[in-house]
Amino acid sequence: MYLIGDQVAAKVMQTEKCSSTLIREKRASLLRHSNIVKVLMIEQGASLSLITMELCGTTLQDYLDKTILIKAKRICILKDVACALQFCHNAGIVHADVKPKNILMSANGQSKLTDFGCSVLIQESNEIDKFHVCFYHHCLIILIILRMKIFFLGDARVCRSRGNKGK
């Protein structure tokens, strides 16, 4: 909930085209962690739906385009995102779309994971098949390329393969 005068971020979507995304966002709205953007309200209308969330700063992508990060800051960002992912995984949710555009940088320099529209609930077998979720050991893969201009951070339980169903 928010009060009149509070600044918030709003995401408007066509209900008809985004019903599965809304379900995933509703599920993720229950996650409360300092490194996850807080969803304040989800309102679903006949034609349009609105997701209201805490207002954060810029995306990590925009931040990287304007800033050269020192090693300590890169490590801090990775730690924040890893903590958010671990919290999600402990809650049975795999984000499935971690990228610089889905990480927001708050005014105090904290990194926050956002956009759970592609997330997968581990217990949903049809979703697991869809994303080829593999239950390996809890293993965090961190690959930093070109001074963090491009990076991947995720859980090894999620394997997206093309054309290799069942493998």
Identify the active-site residue in 80, 97, 129, 155.
Answer: 97
Dihedral of the CA atoms 21, 26, 31, 34 (nearest 10)? Answer: 70
Give start and end residues of each alpha helix (H) in 67-113.
Answer: 71-90
Give SS3 for 154: strand
Q: Which residues contact 92 (CB under 8 A, 6 or more apart)?
A: 121, 122, 123
Strands (E) across 103-146 are located at: 103-105, 111-113, 120-121, 140-145
Q: Is 80 a catalytic residue?
A: no
Q: Which residue type sits at 135?
A: F
- Token pair, residue 82, equals 């890893």
> What are the residue numbers of the active site?
97
